[in-house]
């Protein structure tokens, strides 16, 4: 199965600064790389994802970059705001379009992002 590690486990940044969270994985068959955000007391929700045929994807202040050779991908948040405070999870997997999805997602243990005012 997939071995997933996230770093750091806790990240504290000043409001307005950038934050970067890294996810490493072991399964070379993984080709879909999502990030989920979970606010305190809420459910996890997908915020951005990338497929292996793309090296980077941006959506306003968030971006995901992929290094498939090194088997890691990162979540980048620029101009951080108080509402970015949450736990972020990565869940690399084989996308269902390529024959994956036969089993469950393996999530990283999460990164607690704290935005200091």
Q: Please report whether residue 95 would count as binding other proteins according to CB under 8 A.
A: yes
Q: Which of 92, 108, 113, 115 binds other proteins (CB under 8 A)?
A: 108
State the nearest-atom distance from the C-beta of 56 to other proteins, in Å. Answer: 17
Q: Please report whether residue 52 would count as binding other proteins according to CB under 8 A.
A: no
Q: Please report whether residue 46 would count as binding other proteins according to CB under 8 A.
A: yes
| Count of Cβ atoms closer than 10 Å to residue 17 Cβ | 13
Cβ partners under 8 Å of residue 99, min gap 6: none
**Nearer to other proteins among residue 20 and residue 47 (C-beta):** 47
Q: Please report whether residue 20 would count as binding other proteins according to CB under 8 A.
A: no
Q: Please report whether residue 2 would count as binding other proteins according to CB under 8 A.
A: no
Residues 24-43 that bind other proteins (CB under 8 A): 32, 34, 36, 42-43
């Amino acid at each position: 199965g997939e071995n997933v590690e996230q770093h750091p486990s806790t990240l504290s940044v000043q409001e307005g600064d950038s934050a970067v969270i890294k996810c490493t994985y072991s399964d070379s068959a993984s080709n879909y790389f999502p990030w989920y955000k979970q606010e305190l007391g809420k459910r996890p929700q997908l915020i951005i994802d990338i497929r292996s045929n793309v090296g980077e994807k941006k959506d306003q202040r968030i971006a995901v970059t992929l290094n498939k050779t090194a088997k890691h991908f990162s979540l980048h948040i620029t101009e951080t705001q108080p509402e970015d405070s949450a736990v972020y999870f990565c869940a690399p997997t084989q996308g269902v379009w390529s024959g994956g999805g036969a089993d469950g997602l393996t999530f990283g243990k999460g990164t607690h992002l704290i935005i200091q005012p």
